[in-house]
Amino acid sequence: MIVIGPPGCGKGTQSANIVKKYGLTHISTGDILREEVELHTAIGEIVKKFLDRGYLVPDDIVMREIFETAIKQKCDKGLLFDGFPRTLFQADYLDDIMYHRNEKINLVIHLNVEEEELFQRIVHRSEDAKKRSDDNEETVRNRLQVYYQKTFPLLEYYKKKHKLVTISGMAPIQGVFNAISSIIDDYINKS
């Protein structure tokens, strides 16, 4: 499955809850990219400037260096993609890979949160001791703009394939997770 939504919508938190409950393997391209930066790898040096400015890391780097390695992980019960795909190119590429593996995307959960709330959450998060280098106001504006430009079209893409379920991410964490769980349970019961 895929979890999709703007920065600050709670993708990371909810994805962690989902993988714990359903035993999926968690693939967060954002986490992997941040780790590369922290470890000062060759890729990390390249991607840092994109991350810090709130731009997407170019598709070829994400697919070749990040995704191809991540997808080789053990995944008996399935994979959960968090923050991936983020462009139509990545979505097409993922479909291709799934097709060749004789697998498919079952469910795409879209977490919808109002813009004002996103800002408040990220500003709050930036007061954290382990703050992210991309959680400052200017970069957040960029990240939101990039989301609406590049990632938003994926909602239509997955809607057409009848895989998209939109959930309000405005409620407290547990409330949102309950809503997500019932969507997943429904899906499992129907299939």
Q: Is 169 in the site for ligand ADP (CB under 6 A)?
A: no
Q: How many helices (DSSP H) and strands (DSSP E) are in the chain? A: 10, 5
Q: Facing residues of 82 across strands?
A: 3, 28
Q: Is 143 in the site for ligand ADP (CB under 6 A)?
A: yes
Nearer to ligand ADP, 57 or 176 (CB): 57
DSSP element (H, E) containing 26:
strand 25-28
d(CA 103, CA 106): 9
Q: How far is the CB of 187 from ligand ADP (least distance, A)?
A: 23
Residue facing ligand ADP at closest CB distance:
30
Q: Is 86 in the site for ligand ADP (CB under 6 A)?
A: yes
Residue matched to tokens 């780790």: 35
Can you tell me which of 83, 110, 164, 169 binds ligand ADP, judged by CB under 6 A?
Answer: 83
Question: What stretches of 63-182 adopt beta strand conformation (E)?
Answer: 79-82, 108-112, 164-168
Per CB under 6 A, the segment of 79-87, 96-104, 158-166, 183-191 that binds ligand ADP is: 79-87
d(CA 71, CA 103): 12
Q: How far is the CB of 189 from ligand ADP (least distance, A)?
A: 30
Residues near ligand ADP (CB under 6 A) are 7-8, 29-30, 33, 50-51, 54-57, 62, 83-84, 86, 90, 134, 143
